[in-house]
Amino acid sequence: MKNDLKEILLDEAVIRSRIQELGKEIDDFFQEKEILLITLLDGAIVFTADLIRNLSIPLRLDCLRVSSYGDSTDPETAPRILSSLKSDVRDREILLVDDILDTGNTMQKVHDEVMARQPASVHSCVFLDKPDRRENDFKADWVGFSIPDEFVVGYGLDYAGRYRQLPYVGTLKPVIYEDS
Ligand code: IMP
Ligand code: MG
């Protein structure tokens, strides 16, 4: 699987130390207020698992399954929310967590849906940000790393459902896309 990678952009040590910083920033911001952390499946699962273990504030966890990519590296359809929340959002401090902010359409859509349910506040944290690809003015409150406009895999991010378990983030060799 490692042989399919062209380059490693973020290694395990770099990711670990950045997530410790993010955890501290988020702790400092919420100051012991309980949050409802809503993670976007499937991509954010690995990031969320590490992030919550670096948070000391009280939190509850909920998940939303959102889909936009098929087996390609470009969004094929508008993002769709494929599941519903188990928690009541009203009057809660919400933190949306996703793997990557790309066009911004997924986060914008989820943000709007959550806002409509009258939370106390909505903030967002993404592991990666590709600002060059943005199609709206969505900005995350916390960003792990800003990266150039290249398709990446690992640490939860997939290509055609694969590579999510890699503990680092890298780019794929072009031959991998050509073969499928
Ligand atoms: P957006 O709606 O365009 O911002 O897309 C966000 C979603 O697209 C993310 O949650 C990812 O699942 C997926 N995505 C965007 N860029 C990449 C990438 O480089 N690798 C893997 N998945 C990506
Ligand atoms: Mg995703």
Please tell me the predicted confidence (pLDDT) of residue 81. 80
pLDDT in tens, 11-44: 999 999 999 999 999 999 999 899 999 999 999 9
* Domain of residue 132, CATH code: 3.40.50.2020
Q: Which of 40, 41, 42, 68 to mutate to test the pocket of ligand 1 (most atoms within 8 A of CB)?
A: 68
Among residues of the chain, what percentage have pLDDT more than 70? 93
> Out of 102, 132, 137, 179, which one is annotated catalytic?
102
In terms of residue numbers, what domain contains 18?
12-150
- Domain assignment of residue 57, yes or no: yes
| CB distance 138 to ligand 1 below 6 Å | no
> In sequence order, which ranges of the chain are alpha helices (DSSP H)?
12-30, 45-52, 105-115, 174-179
Q: What are phi and psi of 122, to 5 degrees?
A: -130, 120
Provide the whole-model pTM. Answer: 0.94
Tokens standing for residue 108: 């914008």
Residue 76 has pLDDT above 60, yes or no: no
- Domain assignment of residue 58, yes or no: yes
For the chain, what is the domain count?
1
Q: How far is CA 41 from CA 55, 61, 68, 80, in A?
A: 20, 12, 11, 12
